[in-house]
Amino acid sequence: MLKQISLPTTDEYAEFYAGYIQRATACGDVLAALPNQIEEIKSALGALSNKQALFRNAPKEWSIKEVMGHLGDVERVFSYRLLRISRNDVTPIPGFEQDDFVREAGFDNCSLQDLIQEFEYLRRANILAIQNMSEDSTLRCGTASGYAVSARALIYMLVGHVDHHMASLQEKYLPTAVKL
């Protein structure tokens, strides 16, 4: 069972993911951050009304529901990459267009509670998968979106991506949304 995971080196991920890696590092123990983020999301968003969850901080920005749905989408995409790379599959993995995913998903028609629960189930499955990885499998590298990436970098990216969006929600969305 994986008890700790070391920081990936800069050659294990594309430069545009550096912010996620830094955010994950700032969270402390990355393996402990994985379940903690479930509770953070529930605490921050769980009591919002439907009207509040539909809030957008600007006309062309995603709603809170769409941000939550996006977190689920990326959890799936990053975990699929993690699975393939940790299992030593060297087949290049294509990228995805996040705005297309959000536009096509119809997240604003979903309940926020369902979106939160879906994320929780995805994350809990990922926690189990990660705990059962060997240290060697986390060091494996593959290609995703045309760039080299390691399994351990993807674990850090799972944490950093959620941290990035939660910071944005706390700063730009929730102060206004909770007043609705």
**pLDDT by residue (tens digit) across 35-88?**
999 999 999 999 999 999 999 999 999 999 999 999 999 999 999 999 999 999
Selection from 120, 125, 133 nearest residue 4 by Cα: 133
Q: What are the tens digits of pLDDT across the range 133-143? A: 999 999 999 99
Which residues, at least 6 apart from 36, have a Cβ–Cβ distance to it below 8 Å?
27
Query: In this structure, what token pair is assigned to residue 163?
Result: 């941290």
Kindly report the CATH number that applies to the domain delimited by 10-177: 1.20.120.450
> Rounded to an integer, what distance in angstroms lies between the CA atom of residue 159 and that of residue 27?
8
